[in-house]
Amino acid sequence: MSGGALEGIVVLDLTQGVAGPYATKYFSDYGAEVIKIEQPGHGDSARRLGPFPGDEPHLERSGMFLHLNTGKRSVALDLRTASGQRILRQLAKQADIVFESFRPGTLARLGLDEATLARLNPRAALVQLSNYGQTGPYRDFEADDFLAYASGGVFRVTGDPERPPIRLGLYAPLFLVGVVAAGLAMGAFFGSRRDGAGERVDISMMEVLASSMDRGGPNLVAYQYSGELTTTRERMGRLSALPNGIYPCADGYVHVSTQTAWWPRLCRTIGRPELADDDYYVSRFTDFEAAPDFDALIYPWFLERTKQEVMVAAQAEGWPASAINSMDDVFRDPHFRAREFFRSIEHPLAGTLELPGPPFRMLGTPAEVRRAPLLGEHTAEVLRSRLGYSAEQIVRLHQGGVI
Amino acid sequence: MSESERRLPLEGVRVLAQAIVWAGPFATLILADLGAEVIEVESIQHLNPTRTNYRHLPPALLAGRIGTNYVDRDGSEGFWDRQSYFNYGKRGCKSVTLNLRSERGRELFYELVRQADVFIENNAANVAEHLRVDYPTLSSINPRLIMVRFPGFGTVGPYRHFKGYGTIMEAVAGHTAIRGYEDSDPSMTPNSLHGDPNAGANVAFAVQAALYARERTGQGQEIDLSQAEAVLGHLAHAFMDYSMNRRVHGHWGNRHPSMAPHDVYRCAGDDRWVAIAVPSDEAFAALCDAIGRPDLARDPRYATVVERYEHRTDLDAVIEAWTCRRDAREAMAKLQAAGVPAAELTHQEELTDHPQLVEREFFQRITHPAAGTHRYPGPMGRFARNPLTPVRGPAPTLGQHNRDVLCGVLGLSDEEYRALEEEQVIGTAYLETATT
C-alpha cells in the first residue's frame, strides 16, 4: 500500500483503451487498489496502441499502456466463460467502485447487470463510461476520440475556416473525459458509501466533450445568450489590435497574448518604454485595422531572440509569452525539471523509462507512479489473497484457459 | 424522487473558491453539481476576470467576440451578472463579496475558513501570499482545511510567477507544437484552451481525494496543481515516443498512427463534414462496400493500414466523392449501419436539437435572476439514485449571498452587516474604481 490519499478504496476496473484507464489511473496513482481485468493472451487494447521502443510492437511495451495503467494490478480473466464470470462476481463483491467502459448492454451479458451487482454488493458504485451514454438513439454507435470530438461539436472550434476542421492532440479528448469521469466516480463513491446503497453513473463521452472541450459549455451558453458562438473556426481572430497569437522568433515560435492593461509591459519588454504613453498606439487598441502596426513593433525584437529568451524576458515584465515547445524542449525544460515532474520507472520488459508524473501534488499524501502491470501479472495473487483460491484451483483455472 | 428527498454526494461539504477564467468555473461546476456548497469569494473593488476585465465594456469589444458572452450583447450596468462562463460554471454556487485587502474583509474570510472544508484558488501564484490567505496562514486557523492552488505553472519552480493562461501552458507543455495542419506554418495554429477544463476537472478530483484522505489523517493538506503538467499527461503518445525513441513529433493534422482512412470528409451543404476512422481491414472492406466501391478492398494499394496510410490522398478523394453528395447525418447513419466508425461533425449551434441529447434531456432550462431563462448543458454524469438534475439553481449575482453567508453562517448582526456595506467591505455592484 502506498499511503496515498485513496488508500483503502478498491476499484474493479473493467475498462480498456484510453478514457476509462486514464480515469482509473487517478485512483491507482493516488493510492487506491485498482484491479484491472484483461482478456487472457490479448489484454487491454492500449497494449497495441504504441508507441513502442524501436517501433517493434509488443504487448508489454506500448507507451500508451505503460502510462495509462501505472500501479494497477492485472488479472487475466476470460469473461466469456462461466468460471470467469463467477470470479468477476466474486471480485465485484469486494469492490467499492466497479468501473466499466464496455458497449452498453455488455456488462449485463457478462452476468453483472445492475440488479446482480446490487444484490452482491449493495454499496458498490457502478460507473459506466460510454461513447454516447447508456440510452438514446446513438447508444450503440461506434466511436473513438476522433468521432466523439465530431459529435461533441468540438470541430466547430478547431481549425482554419478555409480548410477542413482539425482536431487537437492525438487522444486529447479521451484524457479529458477520463479525468472528468474520475471526479464523477469519486462523487458516486461518496454517495454510495454514505447511503449504504450503490449509485450508478452513466457518463457519455459526447456530453462530457460538448460541455468541456475546449470551450464547449461556455460557447454553448454564449450562443443561448447572444445568438452567436464566441469561438468558431471563423472567429479565431484577436480580441483587440494588440499582439495575440503565435509569432516567429530566432529558433522557433512563441505565443503571446496581450490585454490592453498590459501594453506598458509589452513596451518595457521590447525596450521601448516611451511607447507606453504614445498616443498613436494607445488610441488604437480596439482598432482591428491597426493590428499590423502593433505586430511590426514586436517582430524584429522576437527574431533576434530564442523562444526561451522571449518567454523569460516577457514574463519578467508580466507580459504573457510562452515558448512553443517540442517534446525535446519539454524534456529539458528547467521548470518541469525543477519540479521533478518526470518519473523514472523500471519495467522488466520495457527497460527504464521516463513517464509523466502525477497531474497534481498532494503535499500531505503524495501520489506514487508505479510501473504498469504485465498481462495477468497479479492473477494468482488476487485470486489467492482476495478470493481465497487454493493453488490447485488456480492451476485448474489456468489449464481451463479461464485465467 | 422529489427535490427534497434527493441527497447529493457532496452535500455538507463547504468550498470557498476564487476559481476564475475557465479552469476555475469548470472546477466549481463539477463540485457544485455534485452537491458541495461552493461560495465564490469576490469583491466589489476587484473585477472577477470570469465576469469581466472591464468596469465598463468598451463598445468595440462588446460588438466583437467578447460581446457574445453577454446576454443580448447588453453592456449596461450589471452586465457582469449576465456572462456565459460565469453563469455556466458557477451554477448552484453562492457569491459573497469581501474586500480581502481590508483588515475587516480578511478577518471575515478567516472566519469563513474556520467553517469551511476546502479553499480552491487559481489567482496568479503570489496573490494568496499577498492577501495573506496562503496555506500556512489558513491551516493555522483550520488545520482540517484542504487548499488547492492551480495557477498555470504551479506554486514552485522557476516559472511559478509566470502568467499562465491556457494558451501559454499548452505551448510550454508541447501541445501547440503537435496540433495544426500537417503542411502549415505554426503561426497558423489556432488557440486552444484544452488545459483549462482539464485543470478544473483535476481540481474536482483532487478535492474529493483530499476529503477522503482527511477521514483517515484528520488533517487537511495543500495541493499544488500546475496546469501545464496536467496537460502533459494528455500528450502521452508524443511524450512516450520521445521517452522511448527520442522522436519529436510535428503537426499531426487529423492523422492517426495506426488507422487509415482517418479524417474528416466534406458532405453536402455549407461547412458540413463527416469524420471517419477505420480501425481494421474488416472496417475498411465495410467502408468500400458502403460507398459502392467494393473493388478498393481488393486493391493491393490499400491492402493494409500501412499501404492505406501511404496512399491516403488518393483514397481520401474517393471517399469524399461519395460523402460530398450526402447529408452528413445520413452518411454517418449509413456508415455506422455498415459497421464503419463514423460521426457527423455537429455544429455547436445545433446541439440543443441533437436527437441523442434531446432523448437524454441533456440540456437544462435554468432561470437566472439577471440573465433570464436559457438552456444550459446539464451535469456530465447521470446519477441513477440521486440525480444531479435539476441543478440546484442558477449562478449567483455579484454578492447575492452576502447576507446568507455573513449573517447566516458567521452570525453577524444586522447592524454589523450594515456597517460592512457602508464601509464597502461588501456590496452587490462593482465600484466605479474597480480594476482587475
What residue type is B433 in one-letter code? T
Q: Which residues of A touch B87 (CB under 8 A)?
A: 221
Angle between helices A205-212 and A216-226 (to 10 degrees): 70
Q: Which of A7, A147, A344, A355 should we substitute to test contact with B (largest number of B Cβ atoms within 10 Å)? A: A147
Position A159 confidence tier, pLDDT thresholds 50, 70, 90: confident
- Using alpha carbons, select from B37, B57, B34, B54 the residue that is nearest to residue B46: B54
The pLDDT value recorded for residue B381 is 96
The pLDDT value recorded for residue B4 is 62
Between strands A33-38 and B342-344, the pairing is unpaired
Decide if B377 contacts B363 (C-beta within 8 A).
yes
Model confidence at B344: pLDDT above 60: yes
Question: CA A355 from chain center: how many Å?
Answer: 14
Q: Write the burial class of residue B43 (CB in 10 Å: 0-12 exposed, 13-18 middle, 19+ buried).
A: buried
Q: What does the alpha-carbon distance between residue A224 and residue A215 come to, in Å, rounded to a whole number?
A: 14
Q: What does the alpha-carbon distance between residue A292 and residue A275 come to, in Å, rounded to a whole number?
A: 16
Model confidence at A286: pLDDT above 90: no
Instruction: Point out the residue among B71, B232, B240 whose CB comes nearest to the CB of A225.
Output: B71
Query: The C-alpha cell of A255 is what?
Result: 505565443
The catalytic residues of B are: 256
Averaged pLDDT for residues B241-268: 95
The pLDDT value recorded for residue A211 is 97
CA distances from A129 to A96, A184, A200, B205, B264 (A): 17, 11, 11, 17, 25
Averaged pLDDT for residues A132-152: 94
Distance from the Cα of B83 to chain A's closest Cα (Å) equals 8
Query: The C-alpha cell of A355 is what?
Result: 513517464
Instruction: Point out the residue among A155, A190, A202 whose CB comes nearest to the CB of B208.
Output: A190
Contact A220 B351 (CB under 8 A): yes
Q: What is the pLDDT of residues B80-94, one digit of tens each?
A: 999 999 999 999 999
Decide if B142 contacts B213 (C-beta within 8 A).
no
Model confidence at A136: pLDDT above 50: yes
Model confidence at B2: pLDDT above 60: no
The pLDDT value recorded for residue A236 is 53
Q: What is the pLDDT of residues B297-340, one digit of tens each?
A: 999 999 999 999 999 999 999 999 999 999 999 999 999 999 99
The pLDDT value recorded for residue B73 is 97
- Predicted TM-score (pTM) above 0.95: yes
Q: What does the alpha-carbon distance between residue B204 and residue B17 come to, in Å, rounded to a whole number?
A: 12
Q: What does the alpha-carbon distance between residue A234 and residue B97 come to, in Å, rounded to a whole number?
A: 38
CA nearest to B223 within chain A: A362
Q: What does the alpha-carbon distance between residue B82 and residue B198 come to, in Å, rounded to a whole number?
A: 25
Position B3 confidence tier, pLDDT thresholds 50, 70, 90: low
Q: What is the pLDDT of residues A309-327, one digit of tens each?
A: 999 999 999 999 999 999 9
Model confidence at A8: pLDDT above 70: yes
Question: CA B50 from chain center: how many Å?
Answer: 12
CA nearest to A338 within chain B: B157
Averaged pLDDT for residues B375-380: 98
Position A1 confidence tier, pLDDT thresholds 50, 70, 90: very low
In sequence order, which residues have a C-beta less than 8 Å from that of residue B40 and are 6 or more positions away? B17, B18, B19, B28, B48, B90, B93, B94, B95, B96, B396
Query: The C-alpha cell of B129 is what?
Result: 501570499
Distance from the Cα of B293 to chain A's closest Cα (Å) equals 22
Q: What is the pLDDT of residues A187-231, one digit of tens each?
A: 999 999 999 999 999 999 999 999 999 889 999 999 999 999 998
CA nearest to B162 within chain A: A315
A105-114, A155-164, A344-353: which has the minimum mean pLDDT?
A: A155-164
Instruction: Point out the residue among A150, A169, A364 whose CB comes nearest to the CB of B219.
Output: A364
Contact A170 B257 (CB under 8 A): yes
Model confidence at B40: pLDDT above 90: yes
Coil, helix or strand for B14? strand
Cα-Cα-Cα-Cα dihedral sign, residues B234, B238, B242, B245: positive
Query: The C-alpha cell of B185 is what?
Result: 506554418
Q: Which residues of B touch A287 (CB under 8 A)?
A: 60
In sequence order, which residues have a C-beta less than 8 Å from that of residue B371 and are 6 or more positions away? A225, B71, B81, B82, B87, B394
Decide if B162 contacts B168 (C-beta within 8 A).
yes
Instruction: Point out the residue among A187, A218, A359 whose CB comes nearest to the CB of B22.
Output: A218
Q: Which H, E and C letters describe A158-188, residue by residue?
A: CCCCCCCCCCCCCCHHHHHHHHHHHHHHHHH
Contact A231 B65 (CB under 8 A): yes
Position A158 confidence tier, pLDDT thresholds 50, 70, 90: confident
Beta bridge partners of B223: A362, B148
Position A237 confidence tier, pLDDT thresholds 50, 70, 90: low
User: Phi/psi of residue B402, each to 5°?
Assistant: -55, -50
**What percentage of chain A has pLDDT greater than the value 90?**
90
The pLDDT value recorded for residue A353 is 94
Beta bridge partners of A361: B224
B262: enclosing H helix or E strand = strand B262-266
Contact B348 A229 (CB under 8 A): yes
Query: The C-alpha cell of A14 is what?
Result: 473493467
The pLDDT value recorded for residue B262 is 96
Q: Which residues of A touch B7 (CB under 8 A)?
A: 191, 194-195
Which single residue is written with the C-alpha cell 431563462? B373
CA nearest to B250 within chain A: A326
Decide if A224 contacts A230 (C-beta within 8 A).
no
Q: Cis omega (within 30 of 0) on the bond before A51?
A: yes
Contact A286 B61 (CB under 8 A): yes
Decide if A147 contacts A204 (C-beta within 8 A).
no
- Using alpha carbons, select from A26, A227, A176 the residue that is nearest to residue B193: A176
Query: The C-alpha cell of A10 is what?
Result: 478498491
How many Cβ atoms from other residues are within 10 Å of residue A283's Cβ?
A: 10
Decide if B118 contacts B145 (C-beta within 8 A).
yes
The pLDDT value recorded for residue B329 is 96
Q: Which residues of B touch A167 (CB under 8 A)?
A: 179, 254
Q: Which of B266, B312, B356, B374 should we substitute to test contact with A (largest number of A Cβ atoms within 10 Å)? A: B356
Q: Which residues of A touch B181 (CB under 8 A)?
A: 159-160, 163, 166
Q: Which of A99, A360, A362, A363 should we substitute to test contact with B (largest number of B Cβ atoms within 10 Å)? A: A360
Contact A359 B89 (CB under 8 A): no
Q: How many CB pairs under 8 A join A and B?
A: 522
Which single residue is written with the C-alpha cell 466589489? B44
Distance from the Cα of B301 to chain A's closest Cα (Å) equals 23
**What percentage of chain B has pLDDT greater than the value 70?**
99
Cα-Cα-Cα-Cα dihedral sign, residues B50, B54, B56, B61: negative
Model confidence at A184: pLDDT above 90: yes
CA distances from B68 to A226, A277, B267 (A): 5, 31, 29
Decide if B386 contacts B8 (C-beta within 8 A).
yes
Q: What does the alpha-carbon distance between residue B245 and residue B247 come to, in Å, rounded to a whole number?
A: 5
The pLDDT value recorded for residue A2 is 45
Instruction: Point out the residue among A68, A202, A339 whose CB comes nearest to the CB of B157.
Output: A339
Q: What is the pLDDT of residues A107-128, one digit of tens each?
A: 999 999 889 999 999 999 999 9
Q: Which residues of B touch A223 (CB under 8 A)?
A: 68, 348-349
CA distances from A395 to A272, A375, A390 (A): 78, 17, 9
Position B167 confidence tier, pLDDT thresholds 50, 70, 90: confident
**pLDDT mean across residues, chain A:** 95
Q: What does the alpha-carbon distance between residue A175 and residue A190 come to, in Å, rounded to a whole number?
A: 23
